[in-house]
Amino acid sequence: MINFSYENPTKTIFGKNAEKHLGQEVKKYGKKILLHYGGGSIKKIGLYDKIIGSLKETGIEIIELGGVVPNPRLSLVKEGIKLCKEEKIDFILAVGGGSVIDSAKAIAVGVPYEGDVWDFYSTNRSPVEALPIGVVLTIPAAGSETSESSVITKEEGGFKRSAGGECMRPQFAIMNPEVTYHLPAYQTACGVSDMLAHLMERYFTQVQNVDLTDRLIEAAMQSILHYGPIVLQTPLDYDARAEIMWAGSMAHSGLLGVGRIGDWASHDIEHELSGVYDIAHGAGLAIVFPAWMKYVYEDNLDRFVQFSTRVMKVDFAMGQREQIIQEGIHRLEHFYKRIGLPTTLKEAGIGKEYLQEMAKKAVLGIEALGQFKKLNAEDILKIYEIALG
Ligand code: NZQ
Ligand code: ZN
């Protein structure tokens, strides 16, 4: 295990009617807030009215900015920064999923920054100052409600890039599993895939002697593999929705990554796909992760055997290590199919046209992607080719 320091100051308020605490929480940070949301689902599910009610009770002044789209865009972030400066906003409330939260985070770091906010996304420079933000989560997926990162797409050139810094972590996250009851099945499945990927990115490490976090990650993965299909079959099952919502946050809060070095190549390879093709991040991960596994497993057979046997429950006695690993990957693909996700580029309607360009773009300005196995543009292209199906 390597040395680490860990802190996650985001206060989590979880459970039925959790949003009734909203006004009291927001009051601690601001009097005039930006209410940031997406394309209108919060109105359809009746959450918007509850939020306005809770905020108004405490006399908070609200300026609204809706319209965040999945794979959130830089242009709206810039509009938000301008609005916050003009209106002298002191707090940003994100009501939605990863896209809304990430857009809110970008606005929050852009307000006190004099340069172009894209600087934080196009270089490895971390923001150190931000407006405080809070979250009412509506879809368990990205884990942005407790993470210190944000992913934004610059329309020009289709660059989807992330920025990270402790100042981006939300002050609080309100999570009521009931608000996820009416999520479209496909969005639910994409969320399940994303949280599973956040765990696998951390799990596939070359750092030795990380047994406790291995086992914690395995428990979280198994919970997702178990409850993912249940929330799809019985969307109104509160307990299953609660398990999945909590798993999404646990997967990406940072706790399960301590003492180890995660890989993250699959995420970067996927971000090229959703940057260019605007597909859902979780669907892209269901395509990329198995292909990445097939390409890299030889670099640490033991770790992949551990994954196959402990997580995917492949019987040790079934054969050689390679067979056990292949079966583990096959079971993962089967899981994605079972929850309705594509596992090949072809199934997602993506052909060969931009594979080379995306592979080059993925390592633009850096030497390689990933930590489990360092990948250059040629390696990434091979992974895309495996993913073609
Ligand atoms: O826009 P609205 O109308 O709200 O509809 C959304 C959107 O169409 C809908 N939705 C959300 N909650 C709903 C609902 N529909 C009905 N009922 C509800 N309760 O779901 C759609 C997807 O929303 P989105 O926010 O895009 O989903 P998700 O949470 O998966 O976020 C994806 C984004 O997060 C980034 C991804 O790359 C992607 O851009 N990520 C952010 C991370 C982070 N900041 O730490 C880490 C992740 O790895 C990820 O990269
Ligand atoms: Zn992700």
Q: 286 and 194 in contact (C-beta within 8 Å)?
A: no
Read off the pLDDT of each residue in 286-292 and give the average, rounded to a whole number: 98
Mean pLDDT of 322-330: 97
Cα 60 from Cα 385, distance rounded (Å): 53
Taking only the tens place, the pLDDT of each residue in 61-80 is 999 999 999 999 999 999 99
Question: Among 65, 71, 102, 202, which is best to mutate for testing ligand 1, by the most ligand atoms less than 8 A from CB?
Answer: 102
CA of 191 to the centre of ligand 2 (A): 9
Q: How far apart are CA 55 and CA 202, in angstroms?
A: 38
Model confidence band, residue 193 (pLDDT cutoffs 50, 70, 90): very high
Name the pTM for this structure: 0.97
pLDDT score at 318: 82
DSSP 311-331: IS---GGGSSHHHHHHHHHHH
Contacts of residue 74, defined as CB under 8 A and 6 or more positions apart, other chains included, come to 106, 117, 118, 152, 153, 154, 155
77, 168, 281: residue to mutate for ligand 1 pocket, most atoms within 8 A of CB? 281
In the block, tokens 């050139």 appear at 157
Closest CA to 142 of 221, 195, 75, 89: 195
Using left for φ > 0, alpha for ψ between -120 and 50, and beta otherwise, residue 254 falls in left
Q: Which helix (H) or strand (E) holds 95?
A: strand 91-96
pLDDT at residue 196, rounded to an integer: 98
Say if residues 312 and 306 touch (Cβ distance below 8 Å): no
pLDDT the model gives residue 242: 98
pLDDT reading at 248 higher than 90? yes
Query: What spacing in Å lies between the alpha carbon of 69 and ligand 1's midpoint?
Result: 8
Amino acid (one-letter) located at 98: G
Please report the atom of ligand 1 found closest to the CA of residue 47.
Answer: 19
Rounded to the nearest angstrom, the distance between the alpha carbon of 263 and the centre of ligand 1 is 22
Q: What is the pLDDT of residue 91?
A: 98
pLDDT band of 317, cuts 50, 70, 90: confident
Rounded CA separation 47/73 (Å): 24
Question: How many residues comprise the chain?
Answer: 389
Q: What is the model's pLDDT at position 316?
A: 87
Ligand 1 geometric centre to CA of 99 (Å): 5
Q: Which residues line ligand 1 (CB under 6 A)?
A: 38-42, 45, 70-71, 96-100, 102, 138-139, 141-144, 147, 149-151, 179-180, 182-183, 187, 190-191, 194, 252, 267, 281-282
Distance CA 16, CA 241 (A): 11
Nearest residue by C-alpha to atom 39 in ligand 1:
71
Name the residue of 144, 160, 253 to mutate for ligand 1: max ligand atoms within 8 A of Cβ: 144
User: How would DSSP label each residue in 86-137?
Assistant: HHT--EEEEEESHHHHHHHHHHHHHTT-SS-TTHHHHSSPPP-----EEEEE
